[in-house]
Amino acid sequence: MFRLVKIENGRINQPEPRKLGVTASETYTLGEALVLSGGALTKCGATEKPAFIAGEDYSAPATDARKITVYPVQAGMVFETPVTAVPTALTPGSVVTLSSDGLGVTATTASGVATVYDLAGATAAGDTLLVTFR
């Protein structure tokens, strides 16, 4: 889960929520990284920069889905998120990929999109660290 920790140089530390349409039959999880595809929200790929973070859990039906709350990802946002592998080779400034579930990051630096802001004491898979999207 991507949890906003702070917005650097922001006058307020709360992003403006939006309501956007969803993809039919897709399940969304609070804190999940999302992008728009064909005008609807969908899970962010491992090497895609997320455009939004899900603001709620929701299982979209096949028809008549409602819009969900999301938060736009903007420059200066710092997120706390779990790392799915041992982060021993990572340092602040490493750029890593997103996990396959869109709820964290990996320790893979090839084609990365999330910049490690601070390891925050992370030493094992499942520990949390701080990342930004630039």
pTM: 0.94
Q: What is the pLDDT of residue 10?
A: 66
Alpha-carbon gap, residue 37 to 35, rounded angstroms? 6
Q: What long-range pairs does 96-101 form, CB within 8 A, spacing at least 24?
A: 96/131, 97/46, 97/47, 98/33, 98/44, 98/45, 98/46, 98/47, 98/48, 98/50, 99/46, 100/46, 101/29, 101/32, 101/43
Instruction: For the chain of 134 residues, list the mean pLDDT of each consecutive stretch of 10.
Output: 89 86 98 97 97 98 97 95 96 97 96 97 97 94
pLDDT score recorded for residue 109: 95
pLDDT given for residue 31 in this prediction: 98
